[in-house]
């Protein structure tokens, strides 16, 4: 079953079998194809803290917040199946992250792109990469302030598989 199937005109959740029991999605009958997902999130700082971080080019006593978050995001994407119970382990072909300072929002925007050639998509890997990268930035800067908000983590787009998706 997948989300495109409907039962009694309701979407069917892919991780539930016909009896309502938890199950890992069976992808054995699917064809491997190139699949890609992009996700985004923000770490929002108080204005004075944002200025301090940007003026220091993201360097703290712990090191570069974006370089550390970059590594953490890649590691997280590769280990998504260990963190989210019903995710398939995937041989990821590409993981990339980018970090952008946003002066209007006093934030750092984190974007991740993940690619695989497989029978299932990489949305969770992209979202996990962004989430852990944002958490790492929080960890690297919490000594300066705890008034930091991780916000608006979401899937931007996915391609491959049965259908493509584009946010908004």
Say whether pLDDT at 6 is over 60.
Answer: no
Catalytic position from the list 17, 93, 139, 147: 139
Is there a single domain that holds both residue 71 and residue 8? no
List the strands of the sheet with 149-159, edge to edge.
94-102, 107-118, 33-44, 149-159, 165-166
pLDDT in tens, 23-79: 778 788 888 999 999 999 999 999 999 999 999 999 998 899 999 999 999 999 999
Q: What is the CATH number of the domain that holds 103?
A: 3.30.70.640
Crossing angle between the packed helical segments 123-141 and 65-78, to the nearest 10 degrees: 150
Distance (Å, whole) CA 34 – CA 4: 20
Per-residue pLDDT, 114: 98
Expressed as residue numbers, the domain containing 3 is 1-30
Note if 21 is an active site residue: no
Is there a single domain that holds both residue 21 and residue 56? no
Number of domains in the chain: 2
pLDDT in tens, 98-143: 999 999 999 999 999 999 999 999 999 999 999 999 999 999 999 9
Question: For the whole model, what pTM was predicted?
Answer: 0.88
Is there a single domain that holds both residue 9 and residue 37? no
């Amino acid at each position: 079953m997948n989300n495109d199937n409907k039962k009694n005109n309701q979407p069917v959740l892919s991780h539930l079998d016909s009896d309502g029991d938890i199950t890992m999605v069976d992808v054995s009958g699917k064809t491997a194809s190139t699949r890609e997902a992009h996700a985004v999130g923000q770490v929002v700082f108080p204005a004075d803290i944002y200025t301090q971080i940007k003026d220091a080019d993201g360097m703290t006593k712990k090191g570069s917040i974006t370089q550390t978050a970059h590594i953490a995001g890649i590691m997280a994407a590769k280990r998504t199946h260990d963190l989210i119970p019903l995710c398939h382990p995937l041989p990821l072909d590409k993981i990339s992250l980018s970090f952008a300072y946003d002066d209007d929002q006093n934030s750092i925007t984190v974007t991740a792109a993940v690619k695989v050639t497989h029978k299932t998509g990489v949305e969770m890997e992209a979202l996990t990469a962004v989430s852990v990268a944002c958490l790492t930035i929080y960890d690297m800067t919490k000594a300066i302030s705890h008034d930091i908000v991780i916000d608006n983590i979401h899937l931007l787009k996915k391609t491959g598989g049965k259908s493509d998706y584009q946010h908004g």
